[in-house]
Each structure stands twice: as C-alpha cells, then as structure tokens.
Amino acid sequence: MKQHILIGLSGGPSAAINASMAGVIKAAVESSHYDKVYGALHGVEGVLAGEIIDLSPFSTDEQLSLLVQTPAMALGSCRKKLTPDDFPKVEEVLCRYEIGVFFYIGGNDSMDTVLKLSRYLKEKGSPIQVVGVPKTIDNDLPVTDHTPGFGSSAKYLYHTMHEIIRDSEIYPVKNVVIVEIMGRNSGWLTLAGGLPMFLGGVYPQIVSIPETPFDECAFLDTIREELKTRHTVICAVSEGIRTKDGSYVGMETKSGAVDTFGHVYLSGVGKYLEMLVSREIGCKVRSIELNVLQRCASHLASKTDLDEAVSIGKAAVKAAEDGKTGIMMVYRRTSDAPYTIEMDAVDVAQVANLEKKVPEKWFNLYDESVKQQICTYLLPLIKGNVTPICDETGIPRYVNIRSIHEERE
C-alpha cells in the first residue's frame, strides 16, 4: 500500500530551500512507494495546527521549475521548539493524514526537531519515518561539506562586495566602509565577502569572523595604516564577532531579545564600528548592513547550489524508500578538481544542536596558502548562473503556494 508524505520547512529562508522541496516532490511523485504529497504551512507549527495542504497541484514540471527559482519558503516557516506535550499532537496529525514519511527541511534547530520527533515515534513503536534535509545559508551544519542555500548567499556576497568596492573608490576622499555580514557563531559567509581579496585583490583589507577574537585597537591601527597609502578601506565583518572574553562586539547595540531556541538576535555591529571609526579616526565612514538581502537573492542564485538542492531532495526520498529515519542528508565532496560530490545520509544525532565553524587552519586569512584553500572550497559552490522563467515584462515568475491554497479554500 502506498504511503503519503509530508514536507515542512523551518528556520530562515534561502534561495535554495524551495529547490530542495521541489526535489522531494518530484522524486515522491515518481516513486512507486508514495501516493499523496502534503505540505505543512509554517513547519511544525502548521502540523500542530493541522494546517496541511495537498501539494499535488504543484507537482507538474512547470510548477516545479518555478518552485526551484522561487526564493524564501513557499510553505512559510517557523522557529518552534517542540516540547514533550507537542509530540503526541504531532503524531496524531501525521496519523490523521496517513503520513508515512515526514521530510523536514531546515538548519541546526530544525535538525533538533528531526532528532526528537524521530526518537519519540520510534519509542512509541510508530512506523512513521522522519528525514531531515539540510538548509542554512550559514553553512554551519556538521558532517556535510556545505549546505543548500550557502552557495547562493556566498555568490551574492561576492558580487555585492565587488559593487561596494567600486562604489567606494570613485572619490579621492579618505573613507572607510564596514560591511556587516550574517554569521552568529561561524564566519563562512564573511569568507565569501572576502573573496575579492582572497583572489588577489586589495579589498576588503579587513575580514573579521566570529572564530577569532576581535581587537578594537588592532582594527583601528590597521585602518590608520591603510589610509596612509590608500583613500579607501573596506571591512567585511561577521555580525557575531566577539572580543577576547567572548562578548559580542558592540553588545550595547543589541536588543537583548532571544528566539525560542535561546539565540540572541544580532545586528548593529557595523553601526557600532562606524561610530568607533568616526570617533577615533574622524574620516568619512559608513556601515552597510546587508541584512535579509543576503539570504535569498534569487537574481544572483548559484546554479550549482540550486541543482544540488534539488538532488539532495531527491536523495532524501531514496533514503526514505530504503527505510531510513532519524537521519539528515549530507553532501560529501569527493574531488576538488574537478569538483564532485556525493549524497549520503547520517544519523541526525551527529548534527542536531552542533555547529561547524571555520577551521583553525584558516584563521590566518592573509596567508597565501590559506587564501588558496578558501578559494578552492568556495568557488565551485558559487559557479553557474540561473536564467529565470519570466513573465512578459521580464519579471521572474514565482510560486505562491499559500495564496493559491487560500484562493481554493
């Protein structure tokens, strides 16, 4: 007897998460194991609320192609931390819809959900499988070589940094530009912002990641030294850079608010450093907080990223067909030249609530061999341009599953 499957999305958006969902839908529709494909609106919050929709109208080749190029999260998202009281409710909804496999696509906190829910169902003797599909622009999930969504965000940062560099150089005026890049505890995205320098350019002269202590005096000294010979200094800094004692730089600029998983909302370090440079050096200075723009800029999506995201969604269905549960799909890099990867599945306990940080061997970002290693790692992930499907005005077409569902209701 064929089973039904359910797909949920969780955490922050990216340019590739819908591509992974498209991969799951396509593989499930073509599988002899599965019948209906359902989607949960707003992740596990939607499961708990019984907000489940039929995704069969979106399983045509045309709809799937549009879904692949649609940024953000077509089913909506959540940041819900399941409590012990939630598990029976989730199980009841899954049983009501005769779900055989629940595919949950997300990052670190989402894999915590996959781990806990799969363990609960196993202890209850339930045959329902739970399969995690990775997603995070932060690239901080362990085991996997990289994560869907990271390549597209890295490409956006590389291009945007080049544009900022050219904009900042045009006037013969001493000036400093501080670009704040996402990254709470890991600096992978900031490394992408540093690519123009790693590839042999002058800018950005300063690249600061959370893994290495930030020294305000050294920061100011570097700027002063650079301004002796250049008009422009450009800095790429992670939002989560910390001082030697572990405190976030410019902590007084943070709101102090935390999410349901206890993570402090970060932003404002760029503005803090702008004020510091203005006060201590006195030159023209501006800070640029890229904020949500770097998360899912589909106009600069990496073709490699989207293609791999679709493939890992398909691989997740194959893993489910093989009876696996309590797993997360991963990429394993098998070669740098030419760049090749394989899809695999690992016990989600190896991933949930853990982080992959920039390795210590790369901490000296100005060493030539380190620059080369970073480029070897990053460049294949941003390769390839996407030609969007557009309407008659030239605007890309997107799928809006929630609005279409609401119209049909």
Flag whether 136 is marked binding.
yes
Per-position b or e across 40-61, b if 16+ CB within 10 A of its CB: bbbbbbbbbeebbbebeebbee
DSSP letters for 145-160: SS-TTHHHHHHHHHHH
Buried b (16+ CB within 10 A) or exposed e, 139-165: bbbbbbebbbbbbbbbbbbbbbbeebb
- State yes or no: 183 annotated in a binding site: yes
Alpha-carbon Rg for the chain in angstroms? 22
Helices (H), ranges, 178-267: 188-193, 195-198, 216-227
Q: Is 138 annotated as a binding residue?
A: yes
Give the C-alpha separation, 232 to 285, whole Å.
Answer: 10
322 vs 324: CA distance, rounded Å: 6
331/38 Cα distance (integer angstroms)? 26
Please give the DSSP secondary-structure letter assigned to residue 324.
Answer: -
Closest CA to 16 of 267, 400, 309, 280: 309
Longest CA–CA span in the chain (Å) reads 74
**232 in a known ligand binding site:** no
Tokens 């404002």 correspond to 268
CB of 26 closer than 8 Å to CB of 59: yes
Q: How many CB atoms lie within 10 A of CB 362?
A: 20
Q: Which two tokens stand for residue 5?
A: 């499957």
Q: How many residues can be counted in the chain?
A: 409
Question: Do the annotations mark residue 18 as ligand-binding?
Answer: no
Q: Containing H/E element for 308?
A: helix 303-321
234 marked as part of a ligand binding site: no
253 is in an annotated binding site: no
Residue 137 annotated as binding?
yes
Rounded Cα gap, residues 253 and 331, in angstroms: 37
Q: Annotated active-site positions, please?
A: 138
In whole angstroms, what is the distance from residue 171 CA to residue 291 CA?
26
3-state SS class at 127: coil
Residue 83 is labelled as binding a ligand = no
Residues of the binding site for substrate: 136-138, 182-184, 239
Residues of the binding site: 12, 108, 136-138, 182-184, 239
Residues of the binding site for Mg(2+): 108
